[in-house]
Amino acid sequence: MIRIPFNEIKQEFKRILLKLSFPENKAECCAGIFADNSLDGVYSHGLNRFPAFVEYVKKGIIDVKAEPELVQRNGLVEIWDGHSGPGMYNATLCMKHAIELAKTNGIGCVALFRNNHWMRGGTYGWQAANSGCIGICFTNAGAGMAPWGGTQPRLGNNPLVIAVPGKDGPVVLDMALSQYSYGKMQEYQMVNKRLPFPGGYDEAGRLTTNPEVIRQTNRALPIGLWKGSGLALLLDMVLTAITGGKSTAKITAEKIEASVTQCFLCLYQENFHPELIEEIIAYTKTSKPTEPGDEITYPGERTMKRRAENLRDGIPVNEEIWKEVKRM
Amino acid sequence: MIRIPFNEIKQEFKRILLKLSFPENKAECCAGIFADNSLDGVYSHGLNRFPAFVEYVKKGIIDVKAEPELVQRNGLVEIWDGHSGPGMYNATLCMKHAIELAKTNGIGCVALFRNNHWMRGGTYGWQAANSGCIGICFTNAGAGMAPWGGTQPRLGNNPLVIAVPGKDGPVVLDMALSQYSYGKMQEYQMVNKRLPFPGGYDEAGRLTTNPEVIRQTNRALPIGLWKGSGLALLLDMVLTAITGGKSTAKITAEKIEASVTQCFLCLYQENFHPELIEEIIAYTKTSKPTEPGDEITYPGERTMKRRAENLRDGIPVNEEIWKEVKRM
């Protein structure tokens, strides 16, 4: 494992995207997000995912020239067509519009269909909270979980993000609705490790901690068993109801996870009571740890620590993948 | 177990509430909601909860005369003070306002602090969806879950509700963020049954299926382990950030679960693509069942069946509690 400075990684990504005919602004945005994801320790959606992203561009699944388009306005709800452009660029733009709506009206919602994968959902949560907004966003995905009581995957693991501005930085929850995201399972598999808790089912329908097996069966375990199953279903319904875009059913039928649907919801007011958010954090941390000496952390807290470390020491990278990217 | 017709139960509730000096409109609303909850099979928040509700009224924790008050408006976000009135009445009113905001503006949000327990969160999801809206609502609560990595309860199990209008009736997800709600655990305990899956921790910190033990330790298991823990924390933060109302920390400090905070969010547009919602349901149901002959159901589907059964055959009641209520 070697460490590479943030700027070097970002510039490398940008060089490649420009070579792939990305316009300057899109190359800057997407390279920045991939580099930020690795910087924050979300390696599965940073450097490690970059080669697959490039493949999608080369295959024409991601249209680098496409611009998202506002196709319908229902009061303060805007519906945008992503026209299969780069997912993170479109998502960033839509969250920006949701923030603007919220700053003017207290609340705003932008829903985006025909978009590519937004990579790490947390990106847009940080974006909202860094602008002083509460941000709620979610996406659908191809089927990777069986509905509760069923044996075949029919639900996306549809990540849900909730971000709240805080005194010492945002609190950002970014979670797939499977116990482990597929990206996280890939990380475990890359280092030949088992999952700490059962994360899905094997071919025989038994729970397993083997990430490779779960990635083959496509049967991740929903958080809370029937509850995560229900939540994944409802998020897909909300996205589809608002936009008329592709549901998990249709995304799955196309065999390739493109043209997903996302929603960006923001709230804004002058005073979000940061002192009360501090109080909640302080109270939560008073719970006696399971392991003496451990600390209870809130979502986003470790991310900020890792960001500072990786900025200082460089981002740890998988050498194989880094070499592959350098050759692109 | 005996069965009592819906109207008889509702009229009995209403008689008692009027005797407790509820104004006619509030008695009608609250009696209707308690009766509906039993009708829909959510017995823990119907008849079985009614005596505790009456106790709260008698102790003055619920102020039957209080009217909720709009105290702040941030664009399309309204903040209401519940003034410790009957929780379900205030919640119904606030969801009504959120629906009105959404019908005019595509989206609307009403947050309500200093309110009493809303009983069954699903009530307000059904209300939204029956009005043609997507409804999202959540509440905080006293501490009943330990944060992930901790051993002492610091998080509410903060129920989350998402409702979407559908062709054959609404799809309504109503879930506590613990694997089993405390109401559900009480139901298992009343019939001396174990939980089907581990639902929390015993005194020694071991996972258990004994509902009585979990109700004593107050350490329910969050759905998805660290994920439900994070989600419960974030919902409390969102509620507190918007309203400045009492967080789980403050509710817990008061020893009695009063003065909680709730949020009601609605989306409305003319066409929520009911045919696509049908398609999602149909696709989900094609997953081969774990047990041959079983059916995959969506959230709200069994509720509608039970509602029809209980309307036809009468609502099954616990005789002890029913006698107790008749004597009130």
pLDDT, tens digit, 9 for 90 and up, residues A113-136 = 999 999 999 999 999 999 999 999
- State which amino acid sits at residue A178: S
A171 contacts B241? CB cut-off 8 A: no
Q: What's the pLDDT at A38?
A: 98
- Return the pLDDT at A1: 81
What average pLDDT does the segment B259-284 reach?
A: 97
Cβ neighbours of A152 in B, within 8 Å = 286-288
Q: For residues B206 and A184, what is the distance between their CA atoms, to the nearest angstrom?
A: 27
What part of B 248-267 touches A (C-beta under 8 Å)?
248-249, 267
Do B81 and A112 meet the contact criterion of CB atoms below 8 Å apart? no
Supply the pLDDT for residue B160. 98
**Residue B85 corresponds to which amino acid?**
G
Residues of chain A with pLDDT under 70: none
- DSSP letter (8 states) at residue B196: S
User: Any residues with CB less than 8 A from the CB of A110 and at least 6 apart, and which?
Assistant: A77, A78, A79, A80, A94, A95, A97, A98, A101, A263, A264
Long-range (24+ apart) CB contacts under 8 A made by A186-189 are: A186/A44, A186/A48, A186/A211, A186/A215, A187/A43, A187/A44, A187/A48, A189/A215
Instruction: Determine the pLDDT at residue B100.
Output: 98
Could you read off the pLDDT of B56-82 as tens digits, one per residue? 999 999 999 999 999 999 999 999 999
Comparing alpha-carbon positions, the chain B residue that sits nearest to A289 is B150
Q: Give the pLDDT confidence of B75-129 residue by residue, as tens digits.
A: 999 999 999 999 999 999 999 999 999 999 999 999 999 999 999 999 999 999 9
User: Which chain B residues are Cβ-neighbours of A294 within 8 angstroms?
Assistant: 149
- β-bridge mates for residue A77, sequence order: A74, A109
pLDDT-derived band at B256 (thresholds 50, 70, 90) equals: confident
3-state DSSP assignment of residue A111? strand
Q: How far is B244 from chain A (nearest CA, A)?
A: 6
Say yes or no for a CB contact (<8 Å) between B280 and A240: yes
- Kindly tell me the sign of the dihedral angle through the C-alpha atoms of B273, B274, B277, B282: negative
| Chain A contact present for B196, CB below 8 A | no
Q: Do A299 and B108 touch (CB under 8 A)?
A: no
% of chain A with per-residue pLDDT over 70? 100
Q: What is the pLDDT of residue A258?
A: 85
Within 8 A by CB and 6+ apart from A94, the residues are A68, A78, A80, A110, A111, A112, A262, A264
Residue B243 tokens, joined: 């309203």
Predicted pLDDT at B84: 97
Contact residues, chain B, for A173 at CB < 8 Å: 230-231, 233-234
Q: Which amino acid is at A281?
A: I
Residues of A with CB below 8 A from B209's CB?
none
User: Contact at 8 Å (CB) between A137 and A242?
Assistant: no
Q: How far apart are CA A95 and CA A172, in angstroms?
A: 15
- Report the predicted TM-score, pTM, of the whole model to 2 decimal places: 0.98
Angle A5-A183-A225 from CA coordinates, rounded to 5° = 145
B182 pLDDT higher than 90: yes
pLDDT digits (tens, 9 = 90+) for B9-23: 999 999 999 999 999
Rounded Cα–Cα distance for residues B85 and B317 (Å): 27
Q: Could you give the angle at the alpha carbon of A253 between the alpha carbons of A248 and A259, nearest 5°? A: 60
Closest chain A CA to residue B154: A284
Question: Is B45 assigned a catalytic role?
Answer: yes
Burial class (CB in 10 A: 0-12, 13-18, 19+), A218: middle
The predicted structure's pLDDT at residue B255 = 83
For chain B, positions 39-78, list CB contacts with chain A under 8 A: 73-77
Q: How many whole angstroms from its chain centre is CA B148?
A: 24
Q: Cα angle at B51 between B49 and B52, to 5 degrees? A: 70
Output the pLDDT for position A256.
85
Decide if pLDDT at B257 tops 90: no
Q: Where are the domains of chain A?
A: 179-221
pLDDT at B163 over 90: yes
The number of residues making up chain A comes to 328
Report how far apart, in Å, the C-alpha atoms of B207 and of each of A297, B159, B187 are. 22, 22, 19
Distances (CA, A) of A158 to A142, A161, A292: 9, 10, 35
Q: Does B239 touch chain A (CB under 8 A)?
A: no
Instruction: Give residue A203's pLDDT.
Output: 95
Q: In CATH, what is the architecture of B179-221?
A: 2-Layer Sandwich (3.30)
Query: Cβ distance B128 to B134 under 8 Å?
Result: yes
Whether the CB-CB separation of A299 and B233 falls below 8 Å is answered with yes
Number of C-beta neighbours around residue B292 at 10 A: 6
B45, B83, B97, B117: which is the annotated catalytic residue? B45
Convert the pLDDT of each residue in B75-85 to its tens digit: 999 999 999 99
Chain A residues with beta carbon closer than 8 angstroms to that of B73:
106
Pairing state between β A107-115 and A77-81: parallel
Interface of A with B in 109-128 (CB under 8 A): 109
